[in-house]
Amino acid sequence: MRKPLVAIVGRPNVGKSTLFNRLIARRMAIVDDTPGTTRDRLISEGEWSGAAFDIIDTGGIDPTHGGPDKLREPLSIGSADFIEDIRSQADVAIRGADVILMLVDGQSGITAADQEIAQILRKAQSRREGELYPPILLTVNKCENQKVRQNAVQFYVLGFENIYPISALHGIGTGDLLDALVNAFPSIGEEEDDDASVKISIVGKPNVGKSSLLNALLGEERVIVSSIPGTTRDSIDTRLVHDNTLITLIDTAGIRKRGSIQPGVEKYSVIRALQTIKRSDVALLVVDAYEGVKSQDTHIAGLVLDEWKSVVVVVNKWDLIEKDTHTMAEYTNFIRHELNFMNYVPLVFISAKTGQRVAKVLPTALRVQEERMVRLPTSQINRILRQALDQHPAPSKAGRHFKIYYGAQVRNNPPTILIHVNDPDLAHFTYLRYLENRIREHAPFEGTPIRILLRQR
């Protein structure tokens, strides 16, 4: 079951990043008094009263200046350029978020920007089961003293039923806000749990041929294909059956480096792409053979690995490469070197344009999904661990030796090994990597990360 998605919106310098850091209980967003500091959208996980949710920090929207990502030239409230920009951002926020926190500044009072944003958000709401959706919680920030909190009642004029005066900086009132936030979460359907299909997402930086690959896999033009980077804005689900296996193919918007992400709809499409990775079983990481592996590719691979998803690296545009008998082997070594943190993933060299080797993509992904579901007997795991210790004992730390008592696979999807030890702090990550490699010698878990957990006995 997916987690609810919360979006924080509001004009610049009302404290959105401070509230974001407060709600996720750690400093992640850059906080600065200069309006418009937040230009990229950050997404992280929060938790309150046992309810987990994803929360987005957004750049400020300012009608009087055309937004933080535009030049600081005066724009009228009725500017057509501004209205289009803010409506597009509000629209994707409404469609993407389950709850919206509209943040205002209690010390500055109501501004024209607040009124415009509130009006657009209210108009974009729809009725679901007799109630407005998504819920909008009007949050009045910077209420550090009693006088400002009392004056917060003026924000009722914006047309929302309840207001929540808080101080994100000092944590005043954030508990009540979180209570209201959790209570506002809609019931998230269990359709993903009931769906027995293998979910395969197609991810990669813009213009590497993700949509072309989807069309080649389907054998028809189901997705608009364009040479212009960033054509795909939303995640698109397509069902098909391959070898009697039901598959859901998910094409996503290209993920750029954060500094290259453009304002507006594209930023929310990146968020949806990240959510798509979370709900997939296997990710097809599409790489441009002509350009080679870039920093964006390794960044996306890291995002997939952070979610413990299985991976198949699809090297597209192979038809553009001048080849000899050694080209594929050399290119394989190059990709292995650049993606050395996931050297267990299979590589498929294809041309989505000509159809070369496209038929190998789905069988490889399904093979990786089968490996993801493998469960090793406890006796085999302990035999592997004993042999690993005998051949290479763990180094000591401060005169203490790392000891392994026994281990067992406690789950699959992804494979998770729980090892009981004397002290988890004595284990260096390089030794855990060594143990993972020894496990792979007996059960490759092709394309699938192995999660190793340590528990003190």
Q: In this predicted model, what pLDDT tens digit does every residue of 434-450 receive, in sequence order? A: 999 999 999 889 999 99
Q: Strand order in 42-48's β-sheet?
A: 42-48, 51-57, 5-9, 99-105, 136-141, 163-165
What value does the mean pLDDT take over residues 350-364?
Answer: 93
Average pLDDT, the chain: 79
Average pLDDT, stretch 305-312?
Answer: 92
Question: Half-sphere exposure (CA, 13 Å, Cβ side) for 420?
Answer: 8
Distance CA 311, CA 317 (A): 19
Its pTM stands at 0.61
Q: Are 105 and 141 in contact (CB under 8 A)?
A: yes
Q: Give the integer Cα–Cα distance in Å for 165 and 104.
A: 10
- Work out the pLDDT band at 330, boundaries 50, 70, 90: very high
More confident site: 347 or 255? 347
Residue with the bigger pLDDT between 409 and 204: it is 409
CATH 3.30.300.20 domain residues, the chain? 378-456
pLDDT above 70: percentage of residues in the chain:
76
pLDDT at 424 over 80: yes
- Residue-wise pLDDT tens digits, 391-420: 998 888 878 888 999 999 999 989 999 999
Average pLDDT for residues 4-19, to the nearest whole number? 86
Q: What is the pLDDT of residue 4?
A: 86
Q: What pLDDT was estimated at residue 133?
A: 82
Please give the single-letter amino acid code of residue 168: A
Statement: residue 286 has pLDDT above 90: yes
Residue 207 or 357, more confident: 357
At residue 224, does pLDDT exceed 80? no
Q: What residue spans in the chain does CATH classification 3.40.50.300 cover?
A: 5-184, 195-372
The answer regarding whether domain 5-184 maps to CATH 3.40.50.300 reads yes
Q: Which residue has the higher pLDDT, 98 or 238?
A: 98
> Residue 269, exposed/middle/buried by CB under 10 A (0-12, 13-18, 19+)?
buried
pLDDT on residue 366: 95
Per-residue pLDDT at 452 exceeds 80: yes
CB proximity list for 104: less than 8 A, separation 6 or greater: 10, 11, 14, 110, 114, 138, 139, 140, 141, 155, 158
Q: Does the pLDDT at position 381 exceed 80?
A: yes
Output the pLDDT for position 270. 54
Grade residue 107 by pLDDT with cuts at 50, 70 and 90: very high
Instruction: Give the CATH number of domain 195-372; options: 3.30.70.20, 3.30.70.1880, 3.40.630.190, 3.40.50.300.
Output: 3.40.50.300
The predicted structure's pLDDT at residue 134: 85
The model's confidence at residue 42, banded by pLDDT at 50, 70 and 90, is low
Tell me how far apart the alpha carbons of residues 34 and 454 are, in angstroms, rounded to a whole number. 44
Q: What percent of the chain has pLDDT over 90?
A: 41
Domain 378-456: top CATH class:
alpha beta
pLDDT at 230: 41
Average pLDDT over every residue of 311-316: 96
Nearest in space to 206 (alpha carbons), one of 171, 238, 252: 252
How far apart CA 394 and CA 382 sit, in angstroms, is 16
Q: Say yes or no to pLDDT of 26 above 60.
A: no
Query: What HEC string does the chain produce?
Result: CCCCEEEEECCCCCCHHHHHHHHHCCCCCCCCCCCCCCCCCEEEEEEECCEEEEEEECCCCCCCCCCCCCCCCCCCCCCHHHHHHHHHHHHHHHHHCCEEEEEEECCCCCCHHHHHHHHHHHHHCEEECCEEECCEEEEEECCCCHHHHHHHHHHHHHCCCCEEECECCCCECHHHHHHHHHHHCCCCCCHHHHCCCEEEEEECCCCCCHHHHHHHHHCCCCCCCCCCCCCCCCCEEEEEEECCEEEEEEECCCCCCHHHCCCCHHHHHHHHHHHHHHCCCEEEEEEECCCCCCHHHHHHHHHHHHCCCEEEEEEECHHHCCCCCCHHHHHHHHHHHHCHHHCCCCEEECECCCCECHHHHHHHHHHHHHHHCCCCCHHHHHHHHHHHHHHCCCCCECCECCCEEEEEEEECCCCEEEEEECCHHHCCHHHHHHHHHHHHHHCCCCCCCCEEEEEEC
Contact between 444 and 414 (Cβ < 8 Å): no
For 240-285, write each residue's pLDDT tens digit.
Answer: 888 888 888 887 654 544 444 444 434 444 565 677 788 889 999 9
pLDDT the model gives residue 260: 46
What is the pLDDT, as a whole number, of residue 89?
A: 52
Look up residue 277 and give its two tokens.
């990775």
Q: 48-104: per-residue pLDDT in tens?
A: 888 888 887 665 555 555 443 333 333 333 334 444 554 555 555 566 688 999 999
Average pLDDT over residues 138-153: 93
pLDDT band at 190 (very low <50, low <70, confident <90, very high): very low
pLDDT at 84: 52
More confident residue, 2 or 41: 2
Q: What 3 state SS string does 177-235 have? A: HHHHHHHHCCCCCCHHHHCCCEEEEEECCCCCCHHHHHHHHHCCCCCCCCCCCCCCCCC
Q: pLDDT band for 226, please (50, 70, 90 cuts).
A: very low
